[in-house]
Amino acid sequence: MRIVDLRSDTVTRPTREMRKAMAEAEVGDDVFGEDPTVRKLEEAAADRLGKEAALFVTSGTMANLVSLMVHCGRGGEMILGDQAHIFYYEQGGSAAVGGIHPRTVPNRPDGTVDLDAVAAAVRADDVHFPRSRLLVLENTHNRCNGSPLDAGYMTEAGDLAHGLGLKLHVDGARIFNAAVALGTTPAELVAPADSASFCLSKGLSAPVGSMVCGSGAFVAEARRARKLLGGGMRQAGILAAAGLVALTRMVDRLEEDHQNAKRLAEGLAGIEGLAVSLERVRTNLVFIDTRETGMTAPELVDRLKALGTLCLASGPQQIRAVTHHPLSAADIDGALTAFREAVS
């Protein structure tokens, strides 16, 4: 049985070209700043995001944490959406490790937050209050249908943040998906941001790693925070080599993932009992409402698994399916057959 794994784009495997590049990578001790392949990746990432500098880190979680630590300091407050990955899925590391206080504002279904609500959440200068330091946006927004946030909104948010004396960090784990979906560049989307992270290990298919980009001064501080967290890696060029292939070879094909997500969503919408909001499927994430099937999401996920299609239950009545390399249209059709059978 061919397994169609739609649980996450983190299950992508390194391509043959990546493995070759890894085997042949020139390396050195990166904590001494002597790994040429890491340097090359950091330059390429900074260039793609239109920033002065970049830092190679182990994960998206670490990319976010070092950024928040630099911008907020201990006791500082960040304002972020209540559906943010940083708020939901990072173990509260910003508080546990960074001493940062989170202040949430509601996310709308398109991943944005109301900028008036952000302005209202900023603290007055008062001895009772923490100091507001940072606004965080997520693009694409994972828990909000993988929605891409457009350049107009990003600019407005940046202007607002800076006008209020806040920095702006973008959790851009899937910023390349956003850029492809919106027909723009990641640099344009993060131009208003003081820092932006992205994952090499999701749709871009590298085995390990994320980047965090910003000014030279910001990245110098982020590098210190990375070392503090135990993230100083030595001959990391072995990993960076795959990241370079990811950046140069795997971005343009993301469009294929988006088309497959659309194909999946349209097929699912035609299955009795399943509900999908088609206009919300704009990148590679598909959320499926299972209420009308009479089954809970975990029950349906178990049935699908027995049929060779893997998905995640993202709520009691919600399933998440993610398209990624190298899934084809035929794989999507196979998954649709499994869904039809599982529901009937």
Residue 325 or 334 with smaller CB distance to ligand PLP: 325
Q: What's the min distance (Å) between Cβ of 175 and ligand PLP?
A: 10
Q: Which residue is nearest to ligand PLP (CB)?
A: 60
Q: What's the min distance (Å) between Cβ of 54 and ligand PLP?
A: 16
Instruction: Find residue 312's DSSP bridge partners.
Output: 320
Residue 89 or 129 with smaller CB distance to ligand PLP: 89
Can you give the three-state secondary structure of 63-89, one letter per residue? Answer: HHHHHHHHHHCCCEEEEEECCCHHHHC
Residue 4 or 65 with smaller CB distance to ligand PLP: 65
Q: What's the min distance (Å) between Cβ of 207 and ligand PLP?
A: 11
Which residues of this protein are in contact with ligand PLP, per CB under 6 A? 59-61, 64, 85, 138, 142, 171, 173, 199, 201, 210
**Residue 309 to residue 304: CA distance in whole angstroms:** 5
**Residue 264 to residue 319: CA distance in whole angstroms:** 13
Q: What's the min distance (Å) between Cβ of 10 and ligand PLP?
A: 6
Q: What's the min distance (Å) between Cβ of 61 and ligand PLP?
A: 3
Residue 177 or 317 with smaller CB distance to ligand PLP: 177
Instruction: Find residue 318's DSSP bridge partners.
Output: 289, 315
Note whether 190 and 163 are within 8 A (CB).
no
Pairing of strands 195-199, 4-5: unpaired
**Residue 252 to residue 215: CA distance in whole angstroms:** 26
Residue 5 or 138 with smaller CB distance to ligand PLP: 138
Note whether 317 and 298 are within 8 A (CB).
no
**Residue 28 to residue 4: CA distance in whole angstroms:** 39
